[in-house]
């Protein structure tokens, strides 16, 4: 019996999928440039996949209650994901929204595939599915939902290319629906937005005809040796070619900044317009640096790639309470120790009572835990850890001897 509540393994996506529409519509050349490159799931992406899995299972089963999953562990695309309170609460907020905003008589599908219809009617490289589509006949309304688990960057719903792609796919897949209005809904419970954590955008279904033409034109632009590379902050963020440093356009932007040779005195010779141009280009360079770091980390951890001069180590351990109830009993009466009702961290309590008193009363209540791994230069004095791939190889059965 598996110790995991569920397992999700990497799947195959359409070449010109909805999730990458922002990239290939903006930068057609990125498609050919990314072909064959690994697109390894990050830990944070795996958390989102786990949340999607739970939301889909609860919808299919009609329970709409994420709480039974709390405290369990899942294996998602190479990552062990703890189904903690934050994840469960986010999924439940999405499920509660569905319960409150749908009514008897609505027709809804969970993760309905649009691939057959889109490939038959639009382009052989289109396809995908969305979290949920709903049709309300009396209002001639199509609603498309997309759950976003990310907490760092709020995603705008207005004119969202990915969701419009989903809406078009839903219309083509369900030609029996008579639709006049389309509503796109993004649920991003862990990230604040001026329009709310769950937000919608309405437009006329007729507009999707024009969008279909844009998609077809965009798809054709990705083909051929002259497909243009057009870097942008949004398009480059999750581009495999950017992560693998295969994009000549990004390299040109990087060199332009490097060759500027900024210095305390040299910077004075640039005009405000030139500095503004550097500021515009800087996010692309910063994004590439971040992408390279993440790519190297994933390759080392999950594929055993050895980068000369670098090693995987555990992140520096921080102190945690072994038992929060015991810590609350020991220090709960101390002014400032509680943050209604949680107790403050060991480091914060130590500041309140002093190191000597804290050491005398809290030694058995505290443990040190690392929050994961990181890739660091070999000069770091922390011991190297064995990559996941090499650990798994130790448990592979030996091949039978040939007779």
Task: Identify the domain boundary among 279, 303, 327.
Answer: 303
Asked whether residue 168 falls in the same domain as residue 245, the answer is: no
Asked whether residue 181 falls in the same domain as residue 287, the answer is: no
Q: How confident is the model at residue 237 (pLDDT cuts 50, 70, 90)?
A: confident
Strand partners, 144: 133, 184
Per-residue pLDDT at 146: 97
Q: Is residue 141 in some structural domain?
A: yes
Q: Is residue 107 in some structural domain?
A: yes
Distance CA 172, CA 120 (A): 10
Asked whether residue 265 falls in the same domain as residue 145, the answer is: no
Distance CA 250, CA 239 (A): 11
Q: How confident is the model at residue 283 (pLDDT cuts 50, 70, 90)?
A: confident
Q: How far is CA 204 from CA 37, 66, 153, 211, 363, in A?
A: 38, 34, 28, 12, 64
Distance of CA 267 to the CA centre of its chain: 37
Distance CA 274, CA 271 (A): 5
Contact between 165 and 207 (Cβ < 8 Å)? no
- Percent of the chain topping pLDDT 70: 88
pLDDT at 373 over 60: yes
pLDDT at 53 over 60: yes
Asked whether residue 138 falls in the same domain as residue 190, the answer is: yes
Q: Is residue 51 in some structural domain?
A: yes
Position with higher pLDDT, 286 vs 247: 247
Per-residue pLDDT at 392: 46
Task: Identify the domain boundary among 285, 303, 321.
Answer: 303
Contact between 162 and 204 (Cβ < 8 Å)? no
Q: What are the helix (H) ranges across 27-147?
A: 30-34, 43-61, 85-101, 115-121
Asked whether residue 292 falls in the same domain as residue 320, the answer is: no
Contact between 116 and 109 (Cβ < 8 Å)? no
Backbone angles phi, psi at 323, to 5 degrees: -140, 105
Position with higher pLDDT, 275 vs 172: 172
Q: Is residue 28 in some structural domain?
A: yes
Distance CA 188, CA 55 (A): 13
Per residue in 173-228, pLDDT (tens digit) is: 999 999 999 999 999 999 989 899 999 999 999 999 999 999 999 999 999 888 99
Asked whether residue 144 falls in the same domain as residue 265, the answer is: no
Range of the domain at 24: 7-221
Residue 212 burial (CB count, 10 A): 19
Distance CA 164, CA 130 (A): 11
Contact between 55 and 74 (Cβ < 8 Å)? no
Asked whether residue 159 falls in the same domain as residue 261, the answer is: no
Asked whether residue 18 falls in the same domain as residue 163, the answer is: yes
Per-residue pLDDT at 338: 72
Return all residues near 23 (Cβ < 8 A) that are at least 6 apart: 30, 234, 235, 236, 238, 239
Asked whether residue 299 falls in the same domain as residue 325, the answer is: no
Q: Is residue 401 in some structural domain?
A: no
Backbone angles phi, psi at 306, to 5 degrees: -100, 115
Q: Is residue 228 in some structural domain?
A: no
Contact between 384 and 311 (Cβ < 8 Å)? yes
* Span 123-141, average pLDDT: 96
Contact between 145 and 166 (Cβ < 8 Å)? no
Q: Is residue 217 in some structural domain?
A: yes
Asked whether residue 272 falls in the same domain as residue 322, the answer is: no
* Span 275-283, average pLDDT: 74
Per residue in 139-185, pLDDT (tens digit) is: 999 999 999 999 888 899 999 999 999 999 999 999 999 999 999 99
Asked whether residue 318 falls in the same domain as residue 294, the answer is: no
Per residue in 353-368, pLDDT (tens digit) is: 788 878 777 777 888 7
Task: Identify the domain boundary among 221, 248, 276.
Answer: 221
Pairing of strands 338-339, 79-82: unpaired
Distance of CA 339 to the CA centre of its chain: 30
Distance CA 267, CA 256 (A): 14
Tokens 């039974």 map to which residue? 68
The b-or-e profile of 79-113 (16+ CB within 10 A means b, else e) is bebebeeebbebbbbbbebbeeeeeeebeebbebe
- How many separate domains does the chain show? 3
Per-residue pLDDT at 327: 80
pLDDT at 344 over 70: yes
pLDDT at 264 over 70: no
Q: Is residue 226 in some structural domain?
A: no
* Span 373-402, average pLDDT: 64
Distance CA 371, CA 87 (A): 17
Asked whether residue 245 falls in the same domain as residue 212, the answer is: no
Distance CA 183, CA 195 (A): 15
The answer to which of 27-41, 77-91, 92-106, 155-169 has the lowest mean pLDDT is 27-41
């Amino acid at each position: 019996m598996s110790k995991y509540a569920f397992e999700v393994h990497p799947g195959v996506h359409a070449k010109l999928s909805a999730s990458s529409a922002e990239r290939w519509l903006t930068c057609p050349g990125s498609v050919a440039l990314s072909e064959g490159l690994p697109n390894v799931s990050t830990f944070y992406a795996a958390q989102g996949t786990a949340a999607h899995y739970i939301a889909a299972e609860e919808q299919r089963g009609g329970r709409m209650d994420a709480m039974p999953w709390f405290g369990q562990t899942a294996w998602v695309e190479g990552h062990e994901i703890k189904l903690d309170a934050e994840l469960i609460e986010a999924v439940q907020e999405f499920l509660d929204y569905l319960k409150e905003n749908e009514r008897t008589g609505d027709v809804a599908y969970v993760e309905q595939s649009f691939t057959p219809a889109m490939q038959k009617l639009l382009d052989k490289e289109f396809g995908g599915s969305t979290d949920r589509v709903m049709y309300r006949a009396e209002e001639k309304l199509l609603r498309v939902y997309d759950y976003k688990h990310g907490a760092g960057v709020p995603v705008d719903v207005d004119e969202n290319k990915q969701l419009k792609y989903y809406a078009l796919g839903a219309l083509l897949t369900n030609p029996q629906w008579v639709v006049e209005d389309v509503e796109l809904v993004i649920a991003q419970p862990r990230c604040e937005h001026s329009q709310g954590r769950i937000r919608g955008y309405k437009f006329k279904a007729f507009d999707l005809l024009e969008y279909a033409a844009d998609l077809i034109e965009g798809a054709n632009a990705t083909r051929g040796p002259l497909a243009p590379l057009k870097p942008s902050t949004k398009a480059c963020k999750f581009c495999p070619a950017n992560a693998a440093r295969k994009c000549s356009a990004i390299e040109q932007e990087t060199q332009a900044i490097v060759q500027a040779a900024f210095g305390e005195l040299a910077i004075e010779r640039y005009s405000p317009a030139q500095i503004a141009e550097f500021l515009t280009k800087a996010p692309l360079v910063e994004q590439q640096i971040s992408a390279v770091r993440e790519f190297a980390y994933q390759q080392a951890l999950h594929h055993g790639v050895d980068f000369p001069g670098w090693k995987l180590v555990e992140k520096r351990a921080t102190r945690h309470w072994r038992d929060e109830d015991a810590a609350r009993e020991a220090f709960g009466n101390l002014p400032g120790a509680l943050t209604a009702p949680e107790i403050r961290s060991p480091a914060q309590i130590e500041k309140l009572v002093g190191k000597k008193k804290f050491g005398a009363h809290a030694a058995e209540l505290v443990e040190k835990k690392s929050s994961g791994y990181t890739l660091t230069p070999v000069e770091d004095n922390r011991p190297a850890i064995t990559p996941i791939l090499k650990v798994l190889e130790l448990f592979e059965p030996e091949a039978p001897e040939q007779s």
